[in-house]
Amino acid sequence: MITPDRPADGLVNKGFIINRSATPGRNQRGRTFIVTGLHRSGTSLVASILRQVGIFMGTDLNDNVHEDEALAKILIARDKPALKRTIRQRDANYGTWGFKFPMLSDVLDYPDIGLFTNPHIIIPFRDPVSVAVRRSLSDYLDPMPALRSTVDAIAEMVAFVEPLDCPTLLLSYEKALVFPADFVAALMRFCDLPRSDTLRDRLIALIEPNRKAYIDVVRRNFGGTIEGVVNGSLQGWSHLTGSPDPVALDLLVDDHPVLAFHADEFRHDLLQAGFGTGHHGFAIDLARFSVQPDAVIRIRVATHGIELANGGRRLRDYDDLS
């Protein structure tokens, strides 16, 4: 008998949707598992499980976020010839392989999924408030704008996945925490993986909320420095890790704000060093502010109060740094 305190198992919300079913027992080779979804939504958890069962998930992998940096560069550059070459190479070398790339819809149109051999898409979703709070903590964002952009990104992801005609599995991160064994079982069935109690227990152990190593890695940092004065121009750079966008800065003279600006000048050395797009330098003509040699110079990240390195010196001292 089904009662409110003893519901039928079929009525329990385990938190997954199979939009297109995979065929069990077929295509053991020649599949590409694509893990995508919003940032901070559980893509790293899914990718870690696939790695744990022996699926090749890429080169230059970070053990905390499990993202294929080599393939990510190709996708971000929208370099389709390079993408096709990489797919051919990995199909030949591994047969079945995969990769994780959050918000794949930002870099590929849904017809481009057809470039991959027998694609199987796995998309975890997370409570939008939880995602927004994590973004506000990790990315220095205000919670309400972060929530709005999160909701918009969820709508974009659903619009991307709905017309796909390949096997697609949608998962709830929150339900994974409540029903970890069911979460693992859904993944193993979808991926048609060999099942054993030992493997299942090992995969369940990977489901750990607020994992410190992950939080430490995804926390973005504002880097940058005041490098010196050249021909009356105060020069330096600033960059937020993981972001291509220019950083908004404030110039302070004797602790008084005199200029709001962005570190957006292109510098090849910054690009070579791996800082975003390279458009993260600045050069400020100090003559228009009549700054005296004894004035103390500081540059801070706007709204966050984080000060760039080498701040707090008198203007005349920056000539020695150039």
pLDDT for the residue 207: 77
> Which range among 98-112, 113-127, 176-190, 193-207 shows the weakest confidence by mean pLDDT?
193-207
The beta strand positions in the chain, using DSSP E, are: 16-20, 32-35, 97-100, 119-125, 168-172, 222-230, 233-240, 247-253, 256-263, 265-266, 279-285, 296-301, 313-314
- Which residues have a Cβ under 8 Å from the Cβ of 115 and sit 6 or more positions away? 80, 83, 84, 87
Question: Strands across the sheet with 279-285, in order?
Answer: 222-230, 233-240, 279-285, 265-266
Query: What value does the mean pLDDT take over residues 24-52?
Result: 83
| Cβ 170 vs Cβ 14: under 8 Å | no
Is the pLDDT at 258 greater than 60? The verdict is: yes
| Cβ 50 vs Cβ 98: under 8 Å | yes
Q: What are phi and psi of 8, to 5 degrees?
A: -65, 145
- pLDDT tier for residue 147 given thresholds of 50, 70 and 90: very high
Nearest residue to 75 (alpha-carbon basis) of 108, 116, 27: 108
pLDDT for the residue 200: 80
Q: How far is 61 from 73, CA to CA, in rounded Å?
A: 13
- Which residues have a Cβ under 8 Å from the Cβ of 130 and sit 6 or more positions away? 174
Query: What value does the mean pLDDT take over residues 27-54?
Result: 87
Beta bridge partner(s), residue 17: 170
- pLDDT tier for residue 240 given thresholds of 50, 70 and 90: confident
pLDDT for the residue 12: 81
Is the pLDDT at 4 greater than 60? The verdict is: no
Beta bridge partner(s), residue 166: none
Query: What value does the mean pLDDT take over residues 139-153?
Result: 86
Is the pLDDT at 3 greater than 50? The verdict is: no
Rounded to the nearest integer, the mean pLDDT of the chain is: 85
Domains of the chain in sequence order: 9-218 (3.40.50.300), 222-320 (2.60.40)
| pTM exceeds 0.85 | no
